[in-house]
Structure 1
Amino acid sequence: MTAYLEYTDSLNYSSLEKGQLPFYCLSNLLKEDIPLHHHDFLELSLVMNGRGTETLNGITHELKPGSISFLLPHHIHEIHTNPEAPLHLFCCMFDISLIFESTTDAQLGRILLQVGNQLPSYNDLNENDAREMNLICSAIASEYSSSKIGKYSVIRSKVIEALALYARSHSTAILSHSHIQNAKIKKLDWDIIQFVHTNYLNELTQDGLCKKFDASPAYISRLFQRTLNTHFLDYIHKLRVRRASSLLLTTEMSILDISVDSGFESFRTFSRVFKEHTGMSPRAFRKMSSEPGS
């Protein structure tokens, strides 16, 4: 169980190398229950074998071969496995930025942002879809453990394929209702979040977003609370701290240069925000990571 839960900490991203996809996958046989938790990642999990139950955002459903769940960062869940038929889960965890990298993913991304609201967070795949999803997961696992050229490009394409299959596994009525009822709202939400993810290293303010997207401050605030369960500024800080953590561990850049490169307007702000998010100063973080056994 410990190996499964270790990826709930966003600072695991700090070990990513430059150009590496912010992605983890794990195939795990659960012999113990997983307590209620949430994390900073999107999570896609598929039951390969076994039986159990999952309580996702307060709703409990059965887990069996072919059951698939998709969680946004603010969702909470717990899993109970059956001792007589332990759950074998294949799980992918990845940053929300993965689905913002291409404008061609806009339609799928807008639908996925409705998970837990207009779109159910789980489904039981039919035999054909379950077989196809198993093949996709096997391909992801194979690429993830390899050192082949272009592995991260292949992984991303396979994850998008898996997410598309998950969305399509729901009834046309559900997808049509979600698309028609929220088309304008979803597109604006998507555009705003996508813009933040591609511009967080630049000067970015809530007032600036309001002017660019002709939206009120209240709308922007509700968007981040509703979609990402956080405040706008806190989310910007989280993205910048992730980048700074990676640079502290993987480069010899000065801490001052890292603060600038990560989008902070002053070194004082950088130091304060970094400590708020990690519990230590940037210097202590770098020193700790360089110590043997860390």
Structure 2
Amino acid sequence: MTYFPDYLKTYPNMDTANPLHISLNRLPNGFRAHRHDFLEFSYVVEGSGFETINETKHAMVPGTFTFVLPYQVHEIFTSAGSQLQLYNCMFSMNLLMGSASGEGLLKLIDLAGAAPYIQLSGKDNERMRWLVEDMYREYAENHPWRQTMLQLRLKEILVLFDRARRTSGCDSEQTALNEGRKGWSVWPVIHYIHQHYQDELALSDLAAKFSLSVSRISEVIKETTGQTYVQFLRDLRIRHACGLLASTEMSVAEIAMEVGYGSYKTFSRVFRESKGLAPKDYRRMKAAKT
């Protein structure tokens, strides 16, 4: 039987127009093995330890920046006598998508062989610490243009990370390690589903696109996410719907179409099964909390 560690599906502000949460945490005893279907970065400011990401181990000391992709199993260990202090930022993949006139950062997560971490020093570390701390301050306040500033900081942080890892040597070492391992990467499939879940996307279409049998592509999706393809697609659509219900005035019928359901009736049934209440009731509940 395949072992699936804790699967974390929620974080503060997830169902909003700006699905992002940043916090400063102290870990005297590390953090258990887990995975999630959102993106996360961490940045260490004090202490020491190490982290494993899909069984690959790296040190965690001040200046360590880590970028964890969806469904990657990761675990943090704190060194004896130490206490890790680090920033953690969880956010939706949608925040990396560009507008019609702008450049998106989705290609950052399309680099399956790239190193998931970098040890920063000197001016790069000074700049990264300032960016992360400024993002944390902005998150805690309620200034005008808050959402815009948070998204700008997120993109600056990830660009700095990617530039640094491309020139550090970590990236080539990790790529060589990945190339030495046997197996086929499911990430392009997961990425494609995230980009196209609003369309009519049959499992047979995915199989044809990636030159795999239907049974094989179904198997690798289950191995990676712990869900069947139908469950995985449903969760992506319902999560998008929750954000729209909480942050827009779109009608439920419009939201059903937007997230990939051609039938209002089907959408309402699936939403109720997933959330335990009707879409309109969910909207009212979210509005009452604001």
TM-score by length of 2: 0.71
Provide the rounded CA distance (Å) in 2 between the counterparts of 1:135 and 1:99: 21
Structure 1 equivalent of residue 201 of structure 2: 204
The DSSP-based 3-state class of the residue aligned with 1:259 is helix
Percent of paired sites with the same residue:
28
- What are the Cα deviations for residues 41-67 of structure 1, in whole angstroms up to 9, with x where unaligned? 221111111234545556776532123
Deviates more, 1:225-234 or 1:41-50: 225-234
Provide the rounded CA distance (Å) in 1 between the counterparts of 2:53 and 2:170: 20
Provide the rounded CA distance (Å) in 2 between the counterparts of 1:107 and 1:218: 28
Provide the rounded CA distance (Å) in 2 between the counterparts of 1:285 and 1:272: 13
Provide the rounded CA distance (Å) in 1 between the counterparts of 2:220 and 2:144: 39
Structure 1 equivalent of residue 155 of structure 2: 157
Provide the rounded CA distance (Å) in 2 between the counterparts of 1:176 and 1:77: 18
Deviates more, 1:227-236 or 1:55-64: 55-64
Structure 2 equivalent of residue 261 of structure 1: 258
**Contiguous gaps of at least 5 residues in structure 2:** 1-7
**Alpha-carbon contact 1:140-1:158 (below 8 Å) kept:** no
Structure 1 equivalent of residue 238 of structure 2: 241
Whose helix fraction is larger, Structure 1's or Structure 2's? 1
**Alpha-carbon contact 1:53-1:62 (below 8 Å) kept:** yes
Structure 2 equivalent of residue 94 of structure 1: 91
Equivalent position amino acid for 1:258 in 2 = I
- The 1:136–1:216 alpha-carbon spacing in structure 2 relative to 1, beyond 3 Å, is farther
Equivalent position amino acid for 1:158 in 2 = E
Provide the rounded CA distance (Å) in 2 between the counterparts of 1:243 and 1:43: 18
Structure 1 equivalent of residue 229 of structure 2: 232
**Alpha-carbon contact 2:20-2:90 (below 8 Å) kept:** yes
Provide the rounded CA distance (Å) in 1 between the counterparts of 2:84 and 2:177: 32
Kindly indicate whether residue 49 of structure 2 is the aligned counterpart of residue 75 of structure 1: no
Kindly indicate whether residue 267 of structure 2 is the aligned counterpart of residue 270 of structure 1: yes
Equivalent position amino acid for 1:63 in 2 = M
Q: Please list, as runs of the form range in 1=range in 2, the aligned pairs for 1:1-294 lying within 5 A after superposition.
A: 8-10=8-10, 12=12, 15-17=15-17, 20=18, 22-30=19-27, 34-54=31-51, 56-57=53-54, 62-79=59-76, 81=78, 85-99=82-96, 101=98, 105=105, 108-111=108-111, 113-114=112-113, 121-122=116-117, 124-127=119-122, 129-141=124-136, 144=139, 145=141, 146-148=143-145, 150-165=148-163, 167-168=165-166, 169-171=168-170, 173-177=172-176, 190=188, 192-212=189-209, 214-218=211-215, 220-222=217-219, 224-225=221-222, 228-291=225-288
Provide the rounded CA distance (Å) in 2 between the counterparts of 1:57 and 1:174: 16
* RMSD value, Cα: 4.0
Equivalent position amino acid for 1:135 in 2 = W
- What are the Cα deviations for residues 115-151 of structure 1, in whole angstroms up to 9, with x where unaligned? xxxx565554455553343234235435545534842
Provide the rounded CA distance (Å) in 1 between the counterparts of 2:57 and 2:63: 16
Q: CA deviation at 1:170?
A: 4.5
Q: CA deviation at 1:239?
A: 1.8
- The 1:214–1:47 alpha-carbon spacing in structure 2 relative to 1, beyond 3 Å, is same
Provide the rounded CA distance (Å) in 2 between the counterparts of 1:100 and 1:69: 20
Provide the rounded CA distance (Å) in 2 between the counterparts of 1:252 and 1:106: 28
TM-score by length of 1: 0.70
Q: In the comparison of the two structures, how many residue pairs are matched?
A: 274
The DSSP-based 3-state class of the residue aligned with 1:65 is coil
Equivalent position amino acid for 2:110 in 1 = R
**Alpha-carbon contact 1:55-1:78 (below 8 Å) kept:** yes
Q: CA deviation at 1:247?
A: 2.5
Q: CA deviation at 1:32?
A: 6.7
The DSSP-based 3-state class of the residue aligned with 1:10 is coil
